[in-house]
């Protein structure tokens, strides 16, 4: 996830771009930059590693004189480490054509090969767009020989359109050409892009927060649409170059609301971004299972995959709960797997069986305990694979293999979409391991991949139950103690449910393996105590139904997380019914009502949901 912004008009271009980037920083903040057409068709370009404040300072030192068409970008690295070279905008060989991009160009390596002689200066997928555009411009120039100045805009437009036709993946793109100062171009496919309509000035951005200060009149582009933006008007087209009619709408939000996409809190917004987080993490990596795509990306050979004797997961907090799901999943495929919280791993490191692959999971890639444990594992001679959301983080630099989740920045302190991204990565990894080691035959591997690809839609269906879940949560607003129970692959989800509510509501909550209840914890149940039981269909359903009975008999007020089938077996006081899913994949759904439950309890208790007390987003001390 990155933020893009664009401006064309008579006001101070750089100020407007920088102001927009500041409001988009929640979408990424590891580097940023702006470019604009300067006086006498020169190109002004400034980029920095780090935040928008640093860019602002640089621009103030060497300001752009005048106003023109300009674009800006704040980056959340996906391809290439956070660095000035990898910061957007990216230029073509001439340095007169600039591009910003949010998304992933899946076929960038293939396209790069078709551009011999072009000088690439970054490791990003985006730069290929600038060079491809340059190539198409050259082609059109040659055909048209000397391009008259009144033909520059149509030529730029056509070259842009031809470029889009070659891109695969997701993108919101904007481009400016110094030869063509009166027009900026923008296009959208699977990444958000919105046009802002002003008086004698117009804007584009990843979301309306970037320009709400200047205009509330906006046009939302759909996938497959592009816009030619001039200061006195905007024309809309499909990717075939045919004009389309678009109606502006008036936005009622203020700019803080807009950053959160209209949600009250980043946590809620991020809960709703989970289908996309899973989709982005799976994109282009799933088929064929056991094939080369993922292995090449991680630098893991099929031989290496076959050679590992087992897996050892390490992480902290929510990421540790992802590890526990991973342990169960790999065991399901007959691969020995262990999971430990990173802060308790030190002695285990020396005792790991030879040939163990250590899997370190961390959203930030900077958690001190996880880094320490990873180093202990390396000292003990193990290979380390990390799963992280943060390109260029310490964890990625020190691991042998890296598997990125593509969730975009997570701002809410309580982790939600990063957890789903971690699960998606674990399911990818497990599928590839199982296929490479012959534990999934061709037909089973295909079914596994198809089931996994269906998860984002099931996530959306589950989140559609939000109102119902909110009502249940609100009824427990006064409760001070909560229990969460489940079994097998959903046992870690019970732990995660308890952690979420503790973090943001400051109540006492415990997650238990349901079978453990009768060995002690059942004693704490009192009349009316809220108990959330994850009891979806599968091999542990009968046992779960029994555990629910035991809890009810001691007075617990049981909310059962079920599917239509398991609902017939579990006798609870209340139900949250999820769409049916294959048993193996249920953790990616069952956690969703628990996140929403925690959110709405915290909301009812009027807690500071995005910044809970005593907590920090990244824990860089041991």
Residues serving a catalytic function are 2, 617
Helices (H), 532-606: 541-553, 587-604
Contact call for residues 482 and 509 (beta carbons, < 8 A): yes
152 part of the interface to ligand F6R, by CB under 6 A: no
* Residue 269, H or E segment: helix 266-272
- Measure Cα distances from 308 to 313, 382, 436 in Å: 14, 10, 12
Query: Of the listed pieces 89-97, 313-321, 549-557, 606-614, which binds ligand F6R according to CB under 6 A?
Result: 313-321
Residue number with the smallest Cβ distance to ligand F6R: 317
Q: Residue 462 has which token pair?
A: 């589950």
User: Least CB distance from residue 493 to ligand F6R, whole Å?
Assistant: 14
User: Using CB under 6 A, which of 24, 128, 316, 325 touches ligand F6R?
Assistant: 316
User: Least CB distance from residue 428 to ligand F6R, whole Å?
Assistant: 18
Query: Of the listed pieces 242-250, 285-293, 362-370, 449-457, which binds ligand F6R according to CB under 6 A?
Result: 362-370
User: Least CB distance from residue 429 to ligand F6R, whole Å?
Assistant: 17
Query: Of the listed pieces 197-205, 240-248, 311-319, 484-492, which binds ligand F6R according to CB under 6 A?
Result: 311-319
Strand segments (E) across 210-336: 217-220, 225-230, 233-238, 243-244, 249-250, 310-315
Strands 243-244 and 3-9: unpaired
User: Using CB under 6 A, which of 13, 367, 547, 577 touches ligand F6R?
Assistant: 367
Cα-atom radius of gyration of the chain, to the nearest Å?
26
Query: Of the listed pieces 289-297, 301-309, 315-323, 423-431, which binds ligand F6R according to CB under 6 A?
Result: 315-323
Query: Of the listed pieces 151-159, 176-184, 361-369, 438-446, which binds ligand F6R according to CB under 6 A?
Result: 361-369
Contact call for residues 370 and 362 (beta carbons, < 8 A): yes
Which residue, chain included where needed, has tokens 């031809």? 162
405 part of the interface to ligand F6R, by CB under 6 A: no
User: Using CB under 6 A, which of 317, 328, 409, 492 touches ligand F6R?
Assistant: 317
Closest CA to 185 of 74, 79, 101: 101
- Please, which residue, 352 or 498, has the CB nearer to ligand F6R? 498
- Please, which residue, 8 or 395, has the CB nearer to ligand F6R? 395
CA max distance for the chain: 87
- Please, which residue, 18 or 498, has the CB nearer to ligand F6R? 498
User: Least CB distance from residue 561 to ligand F6R, whole Å?
Assistant: 19
64 part of the interface to ligand F6R, by CB under 6 A: no
Residue 177's DSSP bridge partners are: 97
* x/- track of binding to ligand F6R for residues 599-618 (CB under 6 A): -------------------x
Angle between helices 417-436 and 442-463 (to 10 degrees): 170
Contact call for residues 425 and 387 (beta carbons, < 8 A): yes
Residue 262's DSSP bridge partners are: none
Contact call for residues 558 and 548 (beta carbons, < 8 A): yes
User: Using CB under 6 A, which of 124, 364, 399, 595 touches ligand F6R?
Assistant: 364
User: Least CB distance from residue 400 to ligand F6R, whole Å?
Assistant: 18
3-state secondary structure 326-390: HHHHHHHCCCCEEEEEHHHCHHHHHHCCCCEEEEEEECCCCCHHHHHHHHHHHHCCCEEEEEECC
Which residue, chain included where needed, has tokens 């170059």? 241
363 part of the interface to ligand F6R, by CB under 6 A: yes
**Secondary structure (3-state) at 33:** strand
Contact call for residues 465 and 304 (beta carbons, < 8 A): no
Query: Of the listed pieces 261-269, 317-325, 535-543, 573-581, which binds ligand F6R according to CB under 6 A?
Result: 317-325
Residue 447's DSSP bridge partners are: none
User: Least CB distance from residue 578 to ligand F6R, whole Å?
Assistant: 22
User: Using CB under 6 A, which of 122, 215, 362, 486 touches ligand F6R?
Assistant: 362
User: Using CB under 6 A, which of 16, 105, 414, 560 touches ligand F6R?
Assistant: 414
How many other CB atoms sit within 10 Å of the CB of residue 74?
34
* x/- track of binding to ligand F6R for residues 368-387 (CB under 6 A): --x-----------------
Contact call for residues 587 and 334 (beta carbons, < 8 A): no
User: Least CB distance from residue 405 to ligand F6R, whole Å?
Assistant: 10
Closest CA to 55 of 32, 22, 85, 76: 32
415 part of the interface to ligand F6R, by CB under 6 A: yes
Query: Of the listed pieces 97-105, 114-122, 358-366, 554-562, which binds ligand F6R according to CB under 6 A?
Result: 358-366
Number of residues that bind ligand F6R (CB under 6 A): 15
* x/- track of binding to ligand F6R for residues 439-468 (CB under 6 A): ------------------------------
DSSP string covering 377-396: HHHTT-EEEEEES-TT-HHH
* Residue 21, H or E segment: helix 13-24
User: Using CB under 6 A, which of 43, 187, 298, 319 touches ligand F6R?
Assistant: 319
Question: Which DSSP letter does residue 414 get?
Answer: S
* x/- track of binding to ligand F6R for residues 490-509 (CB under 6 A): ---------x---x------
Positions touching ligand F6R (CB under 6 A) are 316-319, 362-364, 367, 370, 414-415, 499, 503, 618-619
């Amino acid at each position: 996830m990155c933020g893009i912004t664009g401006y064309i008009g008579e006001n101070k271009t750089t100020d407007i771009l920088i102001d927009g980037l500041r409001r988009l920083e929640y979408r990424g903040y590891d580097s940023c930059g702006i470019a604009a057409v300067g006086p006498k068709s020169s190109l002004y370009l400034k980029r920095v590693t780090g935040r928008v404040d640093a860019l602002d300072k640089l621009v103030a030192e060497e300001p752009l004189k005048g106003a023109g068409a300009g674009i800006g970008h704040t980056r959340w690295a996906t391809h290439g480490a956070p660095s000035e070279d990898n910061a957007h905008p990216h230029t073509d060989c001439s340095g007169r054509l600039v591009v910003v991009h949010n998304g992933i160009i899946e076929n960038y390596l293939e396209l790069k090969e078709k551009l011999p002689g072009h000088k690439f200066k970054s490791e990003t997928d985006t730069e290929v767009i600038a060079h491809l555009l340059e190539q198409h411009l050259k082609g059109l120039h040659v055909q048209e020989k000397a391009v008259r100045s009144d033909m520059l805009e149509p030529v730029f437009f056509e070259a842009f359109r031809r470029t889009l036709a070659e891109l695969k993946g997701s993108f919101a793109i904007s481009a400016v050409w110094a030869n063509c100062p009166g027009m900026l171009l923008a296009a959208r496919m699977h990444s958000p892009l919105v046009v802002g309509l002003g008086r004698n000035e117009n804007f584009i951005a990843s979301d309306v927060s970037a320009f709400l200060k200047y205009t509330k009149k906006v046009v939302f582009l759909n996938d497959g649409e592009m816009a030619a933006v001039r200061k006195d008007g905007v024309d809309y087209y499909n990717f075939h170059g045919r004009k389309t009619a678009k109606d502006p709408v008036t936005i009622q939000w203020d700019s803080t609301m807009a950053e959160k996409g209209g949600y009250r809190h980043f946590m809620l917004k991020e809960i709703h971004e989970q289908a996309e987080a899973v989709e982005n993490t799976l994109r282009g990596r799933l088929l064929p299972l056991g094939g080369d795509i993922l292995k090449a990306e991680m630098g893991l050979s099929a031989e290496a995959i076959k050679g590992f004797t087992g897996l050892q997961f390490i992480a902290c907090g929510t990421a540790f709960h992802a590890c526990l799901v991973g342990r169960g999943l790999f065991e399901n495929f007959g691969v020995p797997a262990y999971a430990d919280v990173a802060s308790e791993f030190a002695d285990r490191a020396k005792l790991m069986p030879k040939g163990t692959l250590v899997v370190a999971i961390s959203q930030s890639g900077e958690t001190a305990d996880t880094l320490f444990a990873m180093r202990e594992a390396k000292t003990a001679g193990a290979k380390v694979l990390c799963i992280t959301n943060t390109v260029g983080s310490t964890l990625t630099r020190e691991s042998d293999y890296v598997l990125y989740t593509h969730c975009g920045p997570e701002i809410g302190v309580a982790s939600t979409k990063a957890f789903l991204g971690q699960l998606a990565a674990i399911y990818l990894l497990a599928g590839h391991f199982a296929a490479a080691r012959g534990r999934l035959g061709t037909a089973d591997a295909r079914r596994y991949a198809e089931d996994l690809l269906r998860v984002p839609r099931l996530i959306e269906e589950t989140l559609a139950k939000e109102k119902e879940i909110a009502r249940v949560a609100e009824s427990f607003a006064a409760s001070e103690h909560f229990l969460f129970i489940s079994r097998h692959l959903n046992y870690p989800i019970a732990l995660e449910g308890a952690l979420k509510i503790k973090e943001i509501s400051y109540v006492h909550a415990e997650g238990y393996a349901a079978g453990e209840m009768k060995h002690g914890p059942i004693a704490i149940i009192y009349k009316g105590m809220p108990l959330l039981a994850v009891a979806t269909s599968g091999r542990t359903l009968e046992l779960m139904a029994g555990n629910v009975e035991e809890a009810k008999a001691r007075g617990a007020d049981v909310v059962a997380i079920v599917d239509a089938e398991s609902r017939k077996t579990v006798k609870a006081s209340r139900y949250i019914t999820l769409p049916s899913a294959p048993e193996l994949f249920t953790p990616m759904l069952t956690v969703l009502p628990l996140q929403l439950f925690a959110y709405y309890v915290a909301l009812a208790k009027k807690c500071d949901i995005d910044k809970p007390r005593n907590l920090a987003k990244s824990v860089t001390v041991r």
